[in-house]
Amino acid sequence: MASIKLNHVAKHFGTKVAISDVDLDVTDGEFLVLLGPSGCGKSTLLRMLAGLETVSSGEIHLGDRRVDQLPPSARDMAFVFQSYALYPHMSVRRNIAFPLIMRQFKWWFHIPLIGGWAKRRIERSPEVADLVEKTAKTLSLTEMLDRYPRTLSGGQRQRVALGRAMVRKPEVFLMDEPLSNLDAKLRTAMRAEITRLHQRVGGTFVYVTHDQVEAMTMGTRIALMRDGVVQQFGTPREIYTSPANTYVARFIGTPPMNLIEGSIDAGMIKFGEATLALPQALAAAGRSTGRAPVLLGIRPNALTLAAPGGQGQLAGTVSLVEHVGAESVVAVKLSHAATAHDEEGAVAGEIMITTQGYSELKPGDPVSVVPDLSEAVLFSRSTGEQLRAGLALAA
């Protein structure tokens, strides 16, 4: 049983709060991705799981064991480091066998010569040797077993690091941005390899990344963090289609979700002079706010461009066109509506629209934007939280 349960886990460095009150429930065999910008606490959380950082308060359970006070080696978790952390003076074979040797380690192994002999004996014993060979074969490292890490490429080193983790058959694999030191092409290949590895060896994976593509493609669930707080914990699909707040909305998706300011009145949403009818679900969600301003969250591909001047359309002018091969991204400055944006700063008043093919539009062209509200979401203007129908009833 390798379910992981975090109960009110927090971490302080002096007065600085790195992690505040994290609750996560990860079931056996899941691939959890901790996603967030640098400094959000995701690596700290992972290191607390591994036992490399102490827990300031709260509990961590692995299956039915409480592990937060145990030393790292007693937790049955493997850790794959960003820099791979291979032992530079050991061959690939010894690197992979090392955790197994440590398992049988006796104090007298520290005696020179005798210790070396004992370690070699363990390394050559059938159960260890077979396991190392098998692991190497799985990762196509067989030819490199007797080479030193220094002579391997980045991708090969990465696979050795994975092998060192796999060979222990741990209940939990912890990975700290393992792909960030690889070039883009290799990263895509290794992404698939890790996903396959997860399917084959089973076990629970916890994977830290700042790359939303990795998170969306690999995770069975994602915990998106910011400033030590989990913003949303859900499947990639939930996080994409129904972000819990404007921060999540802007973090996921390229270009990110547009947030357009408006107000709700009797099942209708008004943006400046334009008025649109809300679908039933959104209307129900919007009812709770009364007339307070809201943000309409809508993905760039749910917007289409039309000739200016139709009903239920937002008027604006094209400010920038980017061609990305199969599709074009058009930035439009709305004439009558403001847009919200994250601190990284999309230009105020602009929204992004992706259209298929090569757009012939030029900056300055007047256009109107037709939103498809079936997959849109509403956020409170003041709190940034998503407005949901269920919550409205409760309120």
Partner 1 sequence: MTDAALRQPQLSRSPIARSERTARLDGNPWTPYLFAAPVVLYLLLFQGYPLLRELMLSFTQTSLLTPQTSHFVGMRNYAELAARPDFWRVIGVTALYTAICVVLAIALGLGAALLLDRPFRGRGIARALVTIPWAAPPVAVATVFAWMLNAQYGIFNHWLKLLDLEIGYESWLDNPRLALPAILFTTIWQIFPFSSVVLLAALQGVSEEVREAAQIDGADKLSIFKVAVWPTIRPTVALLVLFVTIWSLRRFDLIWVMTQGGPIGATKTLVIELYTRAFVARELGEAAAVGMVGLSIALVVTVVYFWATQRAERAEGRR
Partner 2 sequence: MRSPTSQAIRMALILILLSVSVFPIYWMVVTSLTSSANLFADTPQLLPDPAQAFNYADTFSHTGVLVWLRNSAIVAIGTMVLSILLAILPAYALSRFRFRGKGALGFLLFATQMLPEAMLVVPLYAIFANLALLDTLGGLILANTAFTVPVITWILKGAIDGVPMEIEEAARVDGCSRIGIVLQVVVPVVAPTLAAASVIAFFHGWNEYVFAQTLVSSQDLRTASVGLASFVGELSTPIHTVMAIGVMYTLPAVLFYLMVQRYVVAGMTAGSVKG
Distance from C-alpha of 35 to C-alpha of 41, rounded to nearest angstrom: 10
Q: Which tokens hold the place of 63?
A: 């299956």
Report the C-alpha gap between 201 and 165 in whole angstroms.
11
Q: Binds 54, which of partner 1, partner 2, none (CB < 5 to 8 A, cut-off by type)? A: partner 2
Residues that bind partner 2 (CB under 8 A): 51, 54, 71
Decide if residue 70 touches partner 1 (CB under 8 A): no
Closer to partner 2 by CB, 44 or 246: give it. 44
Applying CB under 8 A, among 164, 187, 198, 226 the residue interacting with partner 1 is 164
Cβ–Cβ < 8 Å for 90, 163: no
From partner 2, partner 1, none, interface partner of 102 (C-beta below 5 to 8 A by class):
partner 1
CA atoms within a 13 Å half-sphere pointing along the CA-CB vector of 201 = 25
User: Quick check: 99 binds partner 1 (CB under 8 A)?
Assistant: yes
Q: Which does 110 bind (CB under 5 to 8 A by kind): partner 1, partner 2, none?
A: partner 1
Give yes or no for residue 155 binding partner 1 (CB under 8 A): no
- Let me know if 180 is exposed, middle or buried by CB neighbors in 10 A (0-12, 13-18, 19+): middle
Q: Which does 79 bind (CB under 5 to 8 A by kind): partner 2, partner 1, none?
A: partner 1
The nearer residue to partner 1, 165 or 239, going by C-beta atoms, is: 165
**Residue 79 sits in the site that holds partner 1 (CB under 8 A):** yes
Write out the binding residues for partner 1, residues 34-53 only, by CB under 8 A. 50-52
User: Within 10 Å of residue 38's Cβ, how many Cβ atoms?
Assistant: 8
> Which residues, 6+ apart, have CB-to-CB distance to 140 below 8 Å?
159
Q: Is 73 in the site for partner 1 (CB under 8 A)?
A: yes
Please say whether the beta carbons of 65 and 4 come within 8 A.
no
Among residues 4, 30, 25, the alpha carbon closest in space to that of 199 is found at 30
List residues near partner 1 by CB under 8 A. 50-52, 71-73, 77-79, 81-90, 98-99, 102-103, 105, 107, 110, 147-148, 150-151, 164, 168
